[in-house]
Structure 1
């Protein structure tokens, strides 16, 4: 370890005036764990993500082996890319900065700091769009065809295990909020703890029940009372009706909310716009 005299001699050889420098000197040396630097990675975070960690929330890296990894916060997704730097980056766990020095530090103080690792690159993050195509693909592998369809499909129980909320978070490269929003866009229903998209034929079956009730009650397509509709039809498919038609706090739902095409008794095509 260097002494104060050796430090001053080095400054003299380098023709550096000690008066222009901070009186506290830090001498760096390689520690015994410096060879383990390959196990450490540097990640550059924007202030918003730093605040997430300081608040006790987590950042999650998602991606299969064949996918490019992304980092996700609660509501955003970031691409991860390695950035090389011409300056060698040192890991100094015990390093102090001038802001850490108090006025009562002796002017001849020498701090010995060990380098625990070296890196010539770091991971940088860039905000990106969530990669949600896989979500629909996973849900369409096992669409919900009603109670009868579930009994007939022997493989349904094994496939549906990949459709819990936690399983989707593990497989889809997007934040939790972005995945939940896309599930609403896809009109997915959470049935017995699993997220399911309705099979087209089964959806038509449900829709047929709705249209038959609308015709029997002579309701206009633009304004159908939700509570009465659920009361009349809820016994047919109790596990699905409330999830498929509309949120329970709405008293009315319109034809446009179904977002599909209907064929009336006169075989006229009614287009229900989104």
Structure 2
């Protein structure tokens, strides 16, 4: 038989605490604990800041994402949060129908009222949230498996049982918020084909861009006056419409003249540099720069800054060399990424390493903070270098 606290016992406790009962609310809530075996772990406590609490109060939802072998994340519509279990030395009680002080009121009653409140659980742990970057490596892996290489190879993919993913399916599989996932698909030049999101194989994307550049050259169109509609209609028989429109949108930008677009030098130069570097291994730097400039449309200028995040150079070798090294091929995990970077090169300048860690930075942890935590700095002949913190 469970113990029931009496009114006299409550008044005795009030007296021991040297409180004036007349100044207290007239309701005393007595917490009743179920037998130890009846307390079940049905609930988890999550610590929310005012922003996340506002999301829920605004009628939106928070979503936990992750497979059984993944550490869970929590997502809003536009942010992702790492979920960590934290311990507290205090006991936290879950009492579903507990009445708070401001809900009781201040009216005086002739007799004190006792109300039993059942404790649903006792907790010593809670879930702590910390904003993090979306985990997109899985997205790249899923889309890499179904890379679009041209309509002539689609049947081979189907017969091979390669799976493709719609946006809702990607949202379930990938640990990212909806807005972050859409942004990642744009950054990856993904295109929606028959309801599934696909990335273009590099060679096929280069083929599409070459069609556009050749058409510009054949018609002697100025690089800043490329007619969109005419380009799309002329090439529609060579490239699926959605892919052609996506590539045109990515490699051009609108001008003040309606219907006319300017070729984006940064992106055109970048893909042409990739084509040269991917097949070359280590390339004589001077020979590469000459071949690169010759490969771009007449009137377009190459620039070394377009190589950020896709190539590394060794200016101390004789002759100087350059080779393909893409940021997108590096691990998403920050510790693993720094390990790979310092395996590739023992010492980096800030200018060299910046393109390879910029995407890992957040509003709270910038590039300098990442380097302070994961690298060791030294100065040689007035130049600051970063190397592995632990060797």
TM-score for both structures, normalised by structure 2: 0.63
Could you tell me which residue of structure 2 aligns to residue 204 of structure 1? 206
| Residue in structure 2 matching 1:159, options 157, 162, 165 | 162
Does the alignment pair 1:73 with 2:76?
yes
Within-5 A mapping of 1:1-274: 1-12=4-15, 14-19=16-21, 21-31=24-34, 35-104=38-107, 106=109, 108-155=112-159, 158-161=161-164, 163-239=165-241, 240-246=243-249, 250=254, 251=259, 252-256=261-265, 257-258=267-268, 259-261=270-272, 268-270=294-296, 271=302, 273=306
Q: Which region of structure 1 is more displaced relative to structure 2, 215-224 or 63-72? A: 215-224
Q: Measure, in 1, the Cα distance between the counterparts of 2:210 and 2:253.
A: 23
Say if 1:17 and 1:102 are closer, same or farther in 2 by CA, change over 3 A. closer
Name stretches of at least 5 consecutive residues in structure 2 with no aligned partner.
Answer: 277-291, 297-301, 308-391
Q: CA deviation at 1:17?
A: 2.6
Give the distance between the partners of 2:223 and 2:204, measured in 1 at CA: 21
In the alignment, the residues of structure 1 paired with residue 8 and residue 125 of structure 2 have an alpha-carbon distance, to the nearest angstrom, of 36
> Structure 1 length normalisation: TM-score?
0.87
- SS of residue matched to 1:64: coil
Offset of 1:104 from its aligned partner? Answer: 3.4
Offset from partner CA, 1:154-202 (integer Å, 9 cap, x none): 446x3233x2112211221111101101111111111111111111222
Post-superposition Cα deviations, 1:224-256, rounded to whole Å, max 9, x if no partner, equal 222221121123223321122117994314143
Cα displacement string for residues 40-90 of structure 1 (whole angstroms, at most 9, x for unaligned residues): 111111121122222222211111222211101100000111111111111
Structure 1, gaps ≥5 residues long: none
Distance 2:216 2:222 in 1: 7
Count of aligned positions: 270
Q: CA RMSD in A?
A: 2.8
Please give the alpha-carbon distance, in whole angstroms, between the structure 1 residues aligned to 2:174 and 2:225.
37
